[in-house]
Amino acid sequence: MTTIRRFCCDDLLRFASVNLDHLTETFNMSFYMTYLARWPDYFHTAVNPGDRVMGYIMGKVEGQGESWHGHVTAVSVASEFRRQKLAKTLMHLLEEISDKMDKAYFVDLFVRASNMPAIRMYEKLGYVVYRRVLRYYSGEEDGLGKYLECHTYVVSYSDYLLRCYCSHFYFICIFLDMRKALSQDVDKKSIIPLKRPITPDELEYD
């Protein structure tokens, strides 16, 4: 028995058990609050009878013309509440809102190519790989010796922040842009895969 309701600011103080998961990224407060302010309908949380946050989904809708689409920025479920189809419920909710309320053409998301569990889950939910995004990381160690800063602009993914022990190096990370067509896209044009990979500056949206 899961009550699914809109995420609110106070939930930011209660979602540690979800975000401590190594595959879930934690952003800063203003990031979450921007989403809450701009796309409140795309930010939902599931709570259990004891009012504990079981999981949440956050996303947005953007684009123009046939690129008007919903986007899943983050979806995560605490380990205790997994294997209960909660992520599926949250994703369906976002898809329903994108489809019926905002009349978007498709929903997309970014996932790290190495995150097999997530990729399998999205495939089961009907998402296909539309294109691959190659991202170059470079950076220095900061005081803690493990944090890597991105030189490209921040793109938010439903994946973990990479930690590394080396300094001053470049490497390539592959992300998958997965998509699911919605009812507006009658000919399913939005999910015809691209032939070649792209770099982040070729992305149309943040």
Applying CB under 8 A, the residues found at the interface with other proteins are 1-5, 20-23, 40-41, 48-52, 54, 79-86, 89, 96-97, 100-101, 114-117, 120, 149, 151
Quickly tell me which residue has 């009349």 as its tokens: 103
Give the DSSP H/E element, type plus range, for residue 17.
helix 16-19
Least distance (Å) between residue 20 CB and other proteins: 4
The residue (of 18 and 191) whose beta carbon lies closer to other proteins is 18
The residue (of 66 and 80) whose beta carbon lies closer to other proteins is 80
Pick from 180, 191, 69, 181: nearest CA to 127 = 180
Least distance (Å) between residue 89 CB and other proteins: 8
Please say whether the beta carbons of 13 and 33 come within 8 A.
no
Least distance (Å) between residue 50 CB and other proteins: 5
Least distance (Å) between residue 105 CB and other proteins: 17
The residue (of 120 and 189) whose beta carbon lies closer to other proteins is 120
Quickly tell me which residue has 């089961």 as its tokens: 124
The Cα–Cα gap between 190 and 65 comes to: 12
The Cα–Cα gap between 92 and 182 comes to: 11
The residue (of 23 and 188) whose beta carbon lies closer to other proteins is 23
